[in-house]
Structure 1
Amino acid sequence: MAVAHPTDPSQPRTGSLRVGLFGAGRVAGQLGPALVAAGHTVAFVWSRSAAPAAALAAALPGAAVLPGLGAPLPPADVYLLAVPDAAVAEVLAAVAWPAGALVAHLAGALPLAVFEQRPGVRGGVLYPLQTFSAGRAVDWAAVPLCVEAADPGAQTLLLALARSLSRDVRPLASADRLRLHVAAVFANNFTNHLLGVADALLAEAGLPAALLAPLVRETVDKALAAASPFAVQTGPAARRDAPTLGAHRAALAAHPAWLGIYNQLTNSIQVQLMPEPGPAGAGPQL
């Protein structure tokens, strides 16, 4: 995956911008305050549900609540679509955008081409590579922000807006952003699911989930420090330890779905490693 190097942080950042914010969920709920903290003004908040929009707008000085997608839009330098991916096309089609309006979505997997349905709009992307959850604050300065735009002027403004929020800003075309999003799903969503399976197995045995915490931290730290996580793979699948693999499969017999995941991951590890292991006891163990 070809990812551009971060933009030069020494380049000047934007002044205060007026931002129209569509969405009041997990991303918008953290983006709105971050925009204000960076010196920008959130002109309005819209959400399909009125209560979340009102709550978020109340926390953003000067922000109004847009009553509906058919309402006239207050003027803004940029309109940000912090809505679910599936809702981006619907919002784009429903709003009477001012001519030449700069509208950017925040989705990882949606291409810039989604804006082709509204030729009067200057389309862009401001994709934050991070997971957002209620009650957990995000350090926006450390969040990679990937930017793409349909024209140079829009690109310049979005890059400047991104730099006002983050130290790590990268121009990234749709095809590479999609590959990045797929990688992020493996690294975050799938990893979180596997941690959930592990937690459930410990709970069945009456064991505390905290037992795994040191192992999980060392696993992530080691993988990030290695030239490739594949190079530091350990475990019975990597060792082709048939007795242990068999014991694990027997222990998972009551959970056929998890057994299927176990078998698929075991096969993937062994296919990736391919060469037969060295003598018993060689290499790292778990």
Structure 2
Amino acid sequence: MKIKQYRTQFIKELSPLYDAYEAESFFYLILEDKHKLRQIDLALNHELFFSESDFAVWDLLLAQLKKEVPIQYLLGKTSFYGLDFEVNENVLIPRPETEELVEWIINENAATDRIKKLRILDIGTGSGCIAISLAKNLPNAEVYAIDVSKKAIETAKRNANKNKVDVTFMFQDILETKELKCQFDIIVSNPPYVRNLEKEEIRKNVLDYEPHLALFVDDNDALVFYRKIASLAQNNLLDNGKLYFEINQYLGKEMIDLLGKMDFINIDLRKDIYDNDRMISCKVSKA
């Protein structure tokens, strides 16, 4: 069968679950990954075809997509902030909103990075996407990263090697941490923040396949990670150091109140590309 014909069938079979644009994007991601062919290649040569062995691979992937297994897990990789990352069932798939957080940190600290070695800590690193992207784009920085999952750290280490950056990874439960080992210019975290009451808003491909340890918090204490990390930051941020968080879109006001009560200053809440409250930064008051 010609690839162009299979493309039509592929999109049609996924149409009950995904819109045509998303299904088509899956097709071209697989086409490039498995055959090193791009959309333009197919447009220029309508006679390209799949062999019988090709069909076996594609039909297996199609069956998994029908079960709503994330395409990133099927391919074992994704792109984040212009870099390639391995992803698997032990780590969250990096989101575009998190790229915005990384962009914010880089924009605010690139000038300082050129004249001073910044020390950065990423808490709950997962795939390492934040820590590695910062290390790549703030090349003078000394970057550390913590996660409670040993398998996540193993994945993050492979991603650091793949992207040729030095990051010090540590296995650590931040909720059980009484103090951090050193002082930092920047502490950043994208911790679990989805409440159980919000599960009905989560798509099946996330709810059934991405690690709940990295996603969900108790409804009755949704800010537990933020409160703990902010408490540690009070003692471990250097003068003029900053704390950055990705947050639950419904809890922006609560985050401002929490940080204000803990005597943080210069609190800045920002929206993401979808106009949701998503990122916040602040400084610790040394007065």
Is the shorter-chain TM-score for this pair beyond 0.5, marking a shared fold? Answer: no
Task: Mark the structure with the bigger radius of gyration.
Answer: 1
Task: Name the structure with the higher strand share.
Answer: 2
